[in-house]
Structure 1
Amino acid sequence: MSVQSKLIDIANTCSCRDYIHPWTASCACGSAGMLLAGLKGSFRTYSTVYLLALLLRMRIPRIKDLKNTLTGILQSTVFLAMNGSVFGLLVCWIRLALGRYYLSTVAFWPTFISSMLALNIERPERRTALALYVANVGLETLWKMLEVRGLVRSIPNGQVLIMGVSVTALLYLYRAGLHKTVAKDATFKAIQLLVGKEEEGPLKTPAVTTTQSSRSRPFNFQSISAYVQLYDRLRTSKHPSCPHREGCAPYALFGGAKLFLGGVGVQVGLRLLLSIGKIIKMKMEWRKQIFNKNSLQLGLALGTFSLIYKAVSCSLRHGCGYDSATFAIPAGLLGSVGLLRFPNTTIALYAMWKALQLFYTWGIEEGVLPEVPHFVFIMYSFFTAILFHGNIMEAQTVRPSYYKFLMHISGNRISRFDTQAFEGYGLNSYHQVCEVVKKLNIDMTSPYPSFALAV
């Protein structure tokens, strides 16, 4: 107890210089250095993002397009750089105002406030996308924090369950036609690729109930003509409420095959793109890197989902005698079995947040849910604060790619924040940072970060 008490006393007396800018005695210089580093790193990041988006339009850019791209790069650069710079300044100011550090004031509250202020700089049309992105990564970090504390426990293929439920929810909106009214979003372009334009709502066929007045004559399988008739019936059999033109069997089979080939093509294409250096140097191990069963996983996941979804939907239409948007629920959940071939936490969480956002918007339009003022700002600020807290105090709970991203944006500052004084909080922060730096091979030979402005 006495040792713990001494450690807490150290945290109480820790100065902002000892913690966040040990290379300079000036808080202003510490914040200014982070701003300069942030401008450099953010400009490189957003230049890549915006130029890639410009290229993906697949057309020659006009003067207006180039002007908007340059404006977007500069505006997003200032937003992200200010987010980090104001964070550093608030760490010092809050320490000065309270006279000590608390666990929540080491990173969480300074980040929350700075994020609320900085998001005003970013373009309004990008705020929701940013909030969803940090919510995606932040929720994963928060889950790991709770898991370390023994408060939650991961289940096998939990991300597949999340993905299946989320995609099913999006499919219901798609089939109900709400994606054209209260739930407009670019995500439904991916849904259309997944199940086809035929399944798009609102329903184009009337809800008709059909009854068979006479049974079909049984097949006599002792003759070849019976097999021909069976094949022809399977090929052409289609319920009047089905939205597709061909028979249900080829509709489901060809749809699954198309998605399978497309998924394999995408996965192989990405591997070739990421291995372009090895290909140029003629060091590519084709059989090991490309021609293996792992290249089939995405195709199998998409193809199986499409096949099961369409087969179940058509079966329900045949069985019930009518079409309904609610058929997307059992069809989507059963089709999610195919997603076991390609479990992906990032995609699953994105689909979950997107479904929650669209259902929340629908609920507001229907008057069922209240509209929370500045919800996007609160969501972005909360999860960004979780991420900053994780990077500084619980580095092993953060996705490695995001830790490297913050290192890049901060000019290699995050791992140089001295958290030894906060060992009294029981998070073993300094050890976690050392382990992550070692694991990611981060160069720490220089005692100073970029733009240290040491005085």
Structure 2
Amino acid sequence: MAVLGKPTTIKFTCYEIGHTWTPFCTHAAVGVAYSVSKEAAKIYGSLYLLTALYRNRGKKYFLGKFWRETLQSVIFLTTNGTVFIACFCIWRRLLGQFLYFTAAFMPAFTASFVAILIERKSRRGLLAVYMANVALETLYRMLASRGLVKPIHNGEVLLFSVASAVYFYFFKIKNGLPESTLSALSLIVGKEEHPPCDAQTDQQQKPRSTIQDRVQDVIKSCKPVKMLVDWLQSHSKHRLCQHQHSCISYILQGGIRMFAIGYGIQCAIKLFGSLGRTFKNPRIFLKSLFQRDNLRLGAFLGCFVAIFRAVNCLLRWIRNKEDKLHGLLSGFLAGWSMLFYKGPTVALYTATKLAEMLYFKGIASGVLPYIRCADILIYSISTAIVFHTAVIEPHNLRPAYWNFLLRVTDNRFAEMNRVLLEPFIQGCSKMFPNFWPDYDPRYTNLARQ
């Protein structure tokens, strides 16, 4: 297997290695542009539509801004794919051959740099963080496949726990988190763990929702449930606790609520994925509802909230004071609930968002320098790493992202002839050991040996 940065020289043409479905570079670029634009319209059209409906945007938005934002994002993604395949050919023509980094990294960097300039500034940071997350996981897979690093048992859980600890340390500090992050964490664990002045203000000003009223009505109508709830709420709470009822009731209520939300989300995903088959076989509907996998997300979210609240209440009883260090410990212990729903994607995304937040805090305090266009550079470098891996060693790419690349390019990434690269980069044809393109003999004399 090639070492990153090895000056490998490959003398095949861009037709023989890259766009094997057509011998013409222009046709290849136009074909990729058509495929990407078609899928991009579906992706961003659906994304912006659902976001607009969720935020209850008015008619004025749908008649104007909705179409502009969707078109801008479609052009961004189309440019990224089209310029990549174009630069794949251009770099080869300029140098007369492929080098290890000019086969994919440099074309991808050029394409990503051009494309991100087209996208709205408000989305560049989100795209940079997401692609940095994918790139970090990709680099880890590459190093692990070379035996340079050894996987740590439950390493993703440990990473998530450390990130959660830092998040909730700042959660306990007034104005310690950006408003968007604060809102997201408050939605999960509740606002009662804010600094006392904030929590009191929130409780005084926040009216009960219709859903809460209905839940209360259901509880009141069922006497055994009402008796159990009243018994749990009758227990004591610490004088510093900002929640309304007892600590036991507070812990169980949060855990059960988030378990139900997590279970519902997982069921919805399963049902949406099997929607076509459900009409033919209604039993699939019930099967999707009661799969054991549905419990995993619910158990993760429910245990996370329950542990977080329990540790905070316990520390208030033991230490008889409120402290930001409580957030550090409770966040770390709650993070281990990820054992129910392990995944490096969630852990890495949480860590990269934390790194972004800490970086901006460092800038605000004057400790770290402000780097202009950092989001553009991070996105371009990260995407170049991912595309480079998709060409040279796709088996080390995150499966979900590999499937995304195949979908938006109409399977073109899978039609590259990696068998030709095998003598130079050992293992690059691992996913497609028997693939050989149907070459036009007028443009190459290559034949399978």
TM-score normalised by length of structure 1: 0.81
- 1:175 and 1:202 in contact (8 A); partners too: no
1:78 alignment partner in structure 2? 75
- 1:177 and 1:203 in contact (8 A); partners too: no
Q: Distance in 1 between matches of 2:437 and 2:60?
A: 45
1:41 alignment partner in structure 2? 39
2:396 alignment partner in structure 1? 397
The alpha carbon displacement at 1:320 in A equals: 2.1
- 1:177 and 1:202 in contact (8 A); partners too: no
2:30 to 29, 32, 41: 32
Please give the secondary structure, in 2, of the residue aligned with 1:21.
Answer: coil
1:103 to 100, 104, 110: 100
1:369 alignment partner in structure 2? 368
- 1:205 and 1:241 in contact (8 A); partners too: no
The alpha carbon displacement at 1:159 in A equals: 1.7
The alpha carbon displacement at 1:399 in A equals: 2.4
Q: Distance in 1 between matches of 2:62 and 2:232?
A: 54
Matches within 5 A, 1:31-180: 31-57=29-55, 59=56, 61-178=58-175
Q: Distance in 1 between matches of 2:77 and 2:305?
A: 40
The alpha carbon displacement at 1:10 in A equals: 9.9
2:18 to 17, 20, 41: 20
The alpha carbon displacement at 1:108 in A equals: 0.8
Change (3 A) 1:379 1:10: closer
Query: Percent of pairs identical after alignment?
Result: 33
Q: Distance in 2 between matches of 1:431 and 1:260?
A: 41
Q: Distance in 2 between matches of 1:63 and 1:204?
A: 35
1:97 is aligned with what amino acid?
L
1:274 alignment partner in structure 2? 273
The alpha carbon displacement at 1:386 in A equals: 1.5
Q: Distance in 1 between matches of 2:30 and 2:272?
A: 38
Q: Distance in 2 between matches of 1:420 and 1:282?
A: 43
- Structure 1: give runs of 5+ residues left out of the alignment: 207-230, 438-443, 449-455
1:360 is aligned with what amino acid?
Y
Please give the secondary structure, in 2, of the residue aligned with 1:421.
Answer: coil
2:178 alignment partner in structure 1? 184
1:260 is aligned with what amino acid?
F
The alpha carbon displacement at 1:49 in A equals: 2.0
Change (3 A) 1:379 1:317: same
Q: Distance in 1 between matches of 2:245 and 2:291?
A: 34
- 2:188 and 2:258 in contact (8 A); partners too: yes
Change (3 A) 1:19 1:97: same
The alpha carbon displacement at 1:281 in A equals: 1.8
- 1:244 and 1:251 in contact (8 A); partners too: yes
Q: Distance in 1 between matches of 2:7 and 2:371?
A: 40
The alpha carbon displacement at 1:359 in A equals: 1.3
- 2:259 and 2:302 in contact (8 A); partners too: yes
- 1:297 and 1:342 in contact (8 A); partners too: yes
1:32 is aligned with what amino acid?
V
Deviations 1:180-228 (A, max 9, x none): xxx425343331122101113475589xxxxxxxxxxxxxxxxxxxxxx
1:299 is aligned with what amino acid?
G
- 1:160 and 1:336 in contact (8 A); partners too: yes
- 1:10 and 1:422 in contact (8 A); partners too: no
Deviations 1:142-176 (A, max 9, x none): 21111110011222322222222222222222221
Change (3 A) 1:202 1:33: farther
Change (3 A) 1:265 1:408: closer
Change (3 A) 1:422 1:254: same
The alpha carbon displacement at 1:141 in A equals: 1.8
Matches within 5 A, 1:242-391: 242-285=241-284, 288-391=287-390
The alpha carbon displacement at 1:414 in A equals: 1.2
1:197 alignment partner in structure 2? 191
- 1:39 and 1:78 in contact (8 A); partners too: yes
1:228 alignment partner in structure 2? none
The alpha carbon displacement at 1:374 in A equals: 1.7
- Structure 2: give runs of 5+ residues left out of the alignment: 201-229, 441-449
The alpha carbon displacement at 1:79 in A equals: 0.9
- 2:233 and 2:245 in contact (8 A); partners too: no
The alpha carbon displacement at 1:384 in A equals: 0.8
Matches within 5 A, 1:194-233: 194-201=188-195, 204=198
- 1:130 and 1:380 in contact (8 A); partners too: yes
- 1:31 and 1:86 in contact (8 A); partners too: yes
Q: Distance in 2 between matches of 1:80 and 1:362?
A: 31
- 1:95 and 1:101 in contact (8 A); partners too: yes
Deviations 1:20-66 (A, max 9, x none): 23454543343333323322232232222222323333x47412234
**Structural RMSD (CA):** 3.0
Deviations 1:391-446 (A, max 9, x none): 111111122332222123223321222233322333332343348x8xxxxxx998
Change (3 A) 1:122 1:446: farther
1:441 alignment partner in structure 2? none
Matches within 5 A, 1:419-430: 419-430=418-429
Change (3 A) 1:30 1:198: same
- 1:301 and 1:338 in contact (8 A); partners too: yes
Change (3 A) 1:205 1:62: closer
Q: Distance in 2 between matches of 1:172 and 1:366?
A: 18
TM-score normalised by length of structure 2: 0.82
Which deviates further from its counterpart, 124-133 or 239-248?
239-248
- 1:394 and 1:427 in contact (8 A); partners too: no
- 2:21 and 2:438 in contact (8 A); partners too: no
